[in-house]
Structure 1
């Protein structure tokens, strides 16, 4: 148990480092791409390419992580982050920037992306008793939200300070990319400290015929397929309003300065983290599925209200109100996925549902960029995202309200 506790601390530490890095560049990533000379539609295309790269990396990890080693795959992901940061720092060539975005596990939203989450969830689930899983995931998400918030604050105000000091936009934003590369190096160092207990345990044998398995699944194929389809819909909707696009929308629509945007997303991510922790107590009372649905619908109504606000400050208030309940579904969703599959299917189930979310989110930033390039449709992404997410909530409740947790 002492060794397991150390591994849990290490996994929490890597999540904090990683989400800090995501938050650091999320506020300025779209602005950075624009500063390299890309137009509005091209920025959306690069964000879509970034998410498409996440699909390929995550799918590959799903297939090989348990065989090659979870620790090895985590180390590979850290190396890719470091290489991407160095490429952003050293070139403005559109093809190389796009390539770095594709393979570098960059998060336009500031949230979790890539192969890390599925591996860490599976490892954490076997390091603790099942009865503690939802609560641990709540703290795990709180740690990530706080790190994203701090990263957004540091990134926004650092960029603001550099611009005020006379730096060009491109040079100021590239300084944050250097921080992204350093975060990849820090991740490598911590991942090296993980023990063998994070790997698939050889004592966990199963009598299931290997011929009945598909991508690591056997008895839970149908339920994972249903969850993956719904999670893909939710992620597709969310891709219209990733943090980078919201920051850009506020910057263009209201003239919000980058420092203020960093402060906004600092507060939003703090509130989101608190909401994720509160969700664990709600789930104990009303169940995981009801927690997901009952908290998600109001947050999506608030999302639709953002572009209807007449000024920047009211828009920020609505975004903060939404953030205060927006992540309550996340630990419940993660724990529910682990609960409805067999223990030897957890890595595969987490990986497949993560890939499904990446597939869903991959195309929508491109569409959002196309909409935002048209002045008449500039705010359409908020309405599309909110409407689709509410549809997801209704379908999820109807399909899974009677399935065990």
Structure 2
């Protein structure tokens, strides 16, 4: 399911700004809709975090998949700004190459209850690997509208609408697949019944605040905004942009496997920080590159490092909280990320509307470096059980 959803996100995140521009919207309005998608995902994830323990994971995943279907069909049918903004807020559309939707905390909680502690980071690395490879394929698929326009009598607007219809159909397929899960998936003798956040509250809130800072920076460089910058500065076609983000996704995918090996040797927090720092430096350098070739090199170098903290971060949060609080912890650390990142695309759209320099990328790099240093200083000595066992 992670792969299927990532494929849809991979092409939609690139086509979203093109579709909105084709509808006559300005970069600032594109940023507003990207902000709406992230804000809505955050609110929905918060509700899941507060009330997930009352429902089965299967039911919640089914409802999320149906919401995904409605989002795709809504974007295909509606062409005016304000209704699209409403659909963006209540729906599951993702302007990023990573997963920021309500599916994420639900699946994390299920996966954490399905394996032993020592297998958890490996499982999250594979989960992220599949998502990144599928997302890369989706980015490549974003070039399909150019081919369809060239080989048919349909205009670009109609073709782009068909891509959102496909997104909705993938949501229906997701619902069918989720319906085959056992009712009590993820609940076993090693996982306590889901509960609201209690014993782990303080540490989860601190992590949520730090992750919010990182996400606020990341919101400036969600894939839709980076694509918009490339379209505006270099006048790239969708096909070329799709190829760039395809290879970016491939590098990201295999970095997850490397992250698992590094974490086994150096620990989860060290892996999160010392792979993230150089990627943030690359972000600051990207706007300074004088040619498209150098810009692409910097983007790819950043992609090879920037997401190594994704499986390690997920594993770390699941490791240091009580088993019964994992669903709540996953949501509460995800929600502020979505809400914090929601404001950034709006600002990025404004900045891109007044300058093609790439200020959003530089700002994102600085904020992410601050996050890395704070995380290292505050959590270096708080180890998950498997690292404590190794230490002894």
Q: TM-score, normalised by structure 2?
A: 0.94
Cα distance, 1:378 vs structure 2: 4.2
- What residue in structure 2 maps to residue 55 of structure 1? 42
Q: Which whole-Å CA distance do the structure 2 matches of 1:200 and 1:45 have between them?
A: 39
The equivalences for 1:145-160 within 5 A come to 145-155=132-142, 157-160=143-146
- What residue in structure 1 maps to residue 52 of structure 2? 65
- What residue in structure 1 maps to residue 269 of structure 2? 289
Whether the 8 Å contact between 1:24 and 1:180 is mirrored in structure 2 is: no
Q: Which whole-Å CA distance do the structure 2 matches of 1:217 and 1:235 have between them?
A: 22
The equivalences for 1:67-86 within 5 A come to 67-86=54-73
The equivalences for 1:98-177 within 5 A come to 98-155=85-142, 157-165=143-151, 167-177=154-164
Q: Which whole-Å CA distance do the structure 1 matches of 2:25 and 2:313 have between them?
A: 37
Q: Which whole-Å CA distance do the structure 1 matches of 2:67 and 2:16 have between them?
A: 17
More moved, 244-253 vs 97-106 = 97-106
- What residue in structure 1 maps to residue 233 of structure 2? 253
Cα distance, 1:199 vs structure 2: 4.8
The equivalences for 1:221-232 within 5 A come to 221-232=201-212
Whether the 8 Å contact between 1:29 and 1:108 is mirrored in structure 2 is: yes
Q: Which whole-Å CA distance do the structure 2 matches of 1:366 and 1:321 have between them?
A: 26
Q: Tell me, what secondary structure is at the counterpart of 2:113? A: helix
Whether the 8 Å contact between 2:287 and 2:357 is mirrored in structure 1 is: no
CA distance 1:268–1:203, change in 2 (3 Å): closer
Cα distance, 1:205 vs structure 2: 5.4
Q: How many residues align?
A: 383
Q: Which whole-Å CA distance do the structure 2 matches of 1:311 and 1:171 have between them?
A: 33
Q: Which whole-Å CA distance do the structure 2 matches of 1:205 and 1:186 have between them?
A: 31
Whether the 8 Å contact between 2:6 and 2:134 is mirrored in structure 1 is: yes
Whether the 8 Å contact between 2:58 and 2:184 is mirrored in structure 1 is: no
Q: Which whole-Å CA distance do the structure 1 matches of 2:198 and 2:292 have between them?
A: 51
- What residue in structure 2 maps to residue 403 of structure 1? 382
Cα distance, 1:196 vs structure 2: 3.1
- What residue in structure 1 maps to residue 371 of structure 2? 392
| Unmatched 5+ stretches in structure 1 | 1-13, 207-212
CA distance 1:205–1:158, change in 2 (3 Å): closer
- What residue in structure 1 maps to residue 180 of structure 2? 193
> 1:337-360 CA deviation, whole Å, 9 max, x = no partner?
011101111111001001011111
- What residue in structure 2 maps to residue 332 of structure 1? 312
> 1:311-352 CA deviation, whole Å, 9 max, x = no partner?
112111111111111111111111110111011111110010
Q: Which whole-Å CA distance do the structure 2 matches of 1:374 and 1:239 have between them?
A: 18
Q: Tell me, what secondary structure is at the counterpart of 2:5? A: helix
Cα RMSD, aligned residues only: 1.7
| Unmatched 5+ stretches in structure 2 | 385-392
Whether the 8 Å contact between 2:57 and 2:184 is mirrored in structure 1 is: no
Q: Which whole-Å CA distance do the structure 2 matches of 1:123 and 1:271 have between them?
A: 27
Q: Which whole-Å CA distance do the structure 1 matches of 2:190 and 2:140 have between them?
A: 45
Q: Tell me, what secondary structure is at the counterpart of 1:109? A: coil
> 1:231-283 CA deviation, whole Å, 9 max, x = no partner?
00000000001101111111110111110111111110111011011100000
Question: 2:251 aligned to 271, 282, 290, which one?
Answer: 271
CA distance 1:249–1:124, change in 2 (3 Å): same
Q: Which whole-Å CA distance do the structure 1 matches of 2:154 and 2:189 have between them?
A: 55
> 1:172-195 CA deviation, whole Å, 9 max, x = no partner?
221211110111011001100111
Question: 1:304 aligned to 264, 280, 284, which one?
Answer: 284
Q: Which whole-Å CA distance do the structure 2 matches of 1:303 and 1:335 have between them?
A: 25
Whether the 8 Å contact between 1:27 and 1:247 is mirrored in structure 2 is: yes
Whether the 8 Å contact between 1:66 and 1:200 is mirrored in structure 2 is: no
CA distance 1:60–1:49, change in 2 (3 Å): same
